[in-house]
Chains A and B, each alone.
Chain A
């Protein structure tokens, strides 16, 4: 055996395998929010005590611990709270593969008060300042599945 061969890393066997978890998620009262997304509406529950609006909806306010019964359409516009770009290929649990995400992720505070995450059409982070007014751009109705990314992206409102 030559010195070069001796220096080679010994063989260690590894097995690579994808593991798919198939799940059934009972939406229950959240169905109303899912149906809302499909119709191009953002529906939130609103606490009668503290006024907090929640997407995805909660049935009990985590702060006040009271039952939440009021549903409020959050409108189509909201203010930017935070924005960031995912600068590395991040794992997508829908496919099991790492993926490059071009659009920035934004947190939007809706006119109705709810906070939600989404994609932004503006890729220049310097232009994404807190308080910027954003508007929802929806996917075509036939592509919607009842989820956050039925909003294709959030677009800054031209003044």
Chain B
């Protein structure tokens, strides 16, 4: 039988666009040390290490060989996972599974990205095609979201201004998060005037490139209760992947987020999403995506999220506490981003988020990872089981 498991320590770096003062191993060690300090453990207590990054974005192949010795991860059983956007999601899921096996006391999950070292990520996100077919028409995450956003404008009846309102809300949340990278204090006008990268996606809609790392420690029930007074229980996780679409013209609303959420809601008896879940940390790589993701997660009906955003119902202390940390549009070290979502959701449950703490008691929080053209990993965390 699987053990019940809980997150006992979390840690992340202060995220920046460039970190010339540290190499990748040193950057990762900052997050590991923070997580160990949070759990009041040392590397001697760790008996399994799951590591992950988006290799292609950093240009470092087999990065674990270089990075794990820096923080003492060598010689321990472990697993290295390399995806793109969902890296942190599958790494966290693997860490949860290893902890639930009951074979390990303290499982460390560490993910990172040092995007000041490569320009690969923006060119390689076309997804789904072979290297040959993909190299012909330049596609990127930005072009992918352009077609989705184009469809959202068409289907929902909202205007470009609503994407700017969403960006301002995300920015206001990020201003309260000490770890967030972009703190722009921007306005609707500035967002709407910013350069159209690929219309309707504008410069200020898109997530930044970030150098950062994030880590957490997860343990089976008995050990978790010994380590911390504030365990964050892992209720469920689900990985929903589909094959990438061949061209941008294929279904622009394709996403596994709705399907994944339906599965975990059903398994855990969630019938009223907004009542049963008190904080959401959803991987939204650009501002318009947050609107669609709100609908797919189930906090509102299809094509209505922009109305809630316009009415100011979304925010840290609002009806819908969606991405109180500022989210991915403020901070995006790709490989580590899903783990940051889990960390932020855990901090909300522990009541440790500080200035961006949701005022109501958070008994359950949802975190997701997004990648490729429609892959999603969904996590449910609980205050008590």
Residues of chain A within 8 A (CB-CB) of B136 are: 147-149
The distance in angstroms between the C-alpha atoms of A10 and B196, with both chains bound, is 35
Partner of B133, one of A56, A94, A115: A56
Is B131 a contact partner of A87 (Cβ separation < 8 A)? no
Select from chain B the residue with minimum beta-carbon distance to A115: B249
Is A88 a contact partner of B195 (Cβ separation < 8 A)? yes
Is A148 a contact partner of B197 (Cβ separation < 8 A)? no
Q: Which residues of chain A from 80 to 128 have any CB-CB distance to chain B below 8 Å in the complex?
A: 81-82, 84-88, 90-94, 98, 101, 105, 107-109, 115-119, 125
Residues of chain B within 8 A (CB-CB) of A55 are: 246-247
Residues of chain A within 8 A (CB-CB) of B123 are: 90-93
Question: Can you list, as one digit per residue, whether each of A136-149 has a CB less than 8 Å from chain B (1) or not (0)?
Answer: 00000000000111
The distance in angstroms between the C-alpha atoms of A117 and B128, with both chains bound, is 14
Residues of chain B within 8 A (CB-CB) of A27 are: 132
Partner of B124, one of A88, A93, A116, A118: A93
Tell me the smallest distance from the CB of B222 to a CB of chain A, in Å: 45
Select from chain A the residue with minimum beta-carbon distance to B129: A56
Partner of A87, one of B132, B135, B139, B197: B197
Residues of chain B within 8 A (CB-CB) of A115 are: 246-247, 249-250
Is A149 a contact partner of B137 (Cβ separation < 8 A)? yes
Is A116 a contact partner of B249 (Cβ separation < 8 A)? yes
Is A84 a contact partner of B143 (Cβ separation < 8 A)? yes
Is B249 a contact partner of A107 (Cβ separation < 8 A)? yes
Select from chain A the residue with minimum beta-carbon distance to B140: A90
Residues of chain A within 8 A (CB-CB) of B199 are: 84-85, 87, 125
A23 contacts the other chain (Cβ, under 8 Å)? Answer: yes
Interface SS of B by simple majority: loop
Question: Can you list, as one digit per residue, whether each of B247-281 has a CB less than 8 Å from chain A (1) or not (0)?
Answer: 11110100000000000000000000000000000
Q: How large is the interface on A (under 10, 10 to 19, 20 to 34, 35 or more residues)?
A: 35 or more
> Known interface pairs A62-B243, A85-B198, A91-B122. Does A109 touch B131 (Cβ–Cβ under 8 Å)?
no
Partner of A12, one of B20, B243, B246, B247: B20
B146 contacts the other chain (Cβ, under 8 Å)? Answer: yes
> Known interface pairs A56-B133, A93-B135. Does A86 touch B198 (Cβ–Cβ under 8 Å)?
yes
Select from chain B the residue with minimum beta-carbon distance to A12: B20
The distance in angstroms between the C-alpha atoms of A21 and B132, with both chains bound, is 12
Q: Which residues of chain A from 16 to 46 have any CB-CB distance to chain B below 8 Å in the complex?
A: 19, 21, 23, 25, 27
A54 contacts the other chain (Cβ, under 8 Å)? Answer: yes
Residues of chain A within 8 A (CB-CB) of B138 are: 86, 90-93, 101, 105
Tell me the smallest distance from the CB of A153 to a CB of chain B, in Å: 11
> Known interface pairs A62-B243, A105-B137. Does A12 touch B198 (Cβ–Cβ under 8 Å)?
no
Residues of chain B within 8 A (CB-CB) of A108 are: 249
Is A25 a contact partner of B131 (Cβ separation < 8 A)? yes
> Known interface pairs A12-B21, A101-B138, A117-B137. Does A56 touch B246 (Cβ–Cβ under 8 Å)?
yes
B155 contacts the other chain (Cβ, under 8 Å)? Answer: no
Is A98 a contact partner of B119 (Cβ separation < 8 A)? yes
B78 contacts the other chain (Cβ, under 8 Å)? Answer: no
Residues of chain B within 8 A (CB-CB) of A58 are: 246
The distance in angstroms between the C-alpha atoms of A136 and B252, with both chains bound, is 24
The distance in angstroms between the C-alpha atoms of A118 and B123, with both chains bound, is 17
A3 contacts the other chain (Cβ, under 8 Å)? Answer: no
Q: Could you jot down 17 A-B contacts, CB within 8 Å?
A: A12-B21, A14-B20, A25-B131, A56-B246, A82-B147, A82-B249, A84-B150, A86-B138, A88-B195, A90-B123, A90-B138, A91-B120, A93-B135, A105-B137, A107-B147, A117-B137, A117-B139
Q: Given known contacts A101-B138, A115-B247, what 12 new A-B pairs fall within 8 Å (CB)?
A: A25-B131, A56-B246, A62-B243, A90-B138, A93-B124, A93-B138, A107-B248, A115-B250, A116-B249, A147-B133, A148-B136, A149-B137
List B residues at the A interface (Cβ < 8 Å). 20-21, 59, 119-120, 122-124, 129-140, 143, 146-147, 150, 195-199, 243, 246-250, 252
Q: Which 8 A-B pairs have the closest CB atoms?
A: A107-B249, A91-B123, A12-B20, A115-B249, A25-B132, A148-B136, A117-B137, A81-B249
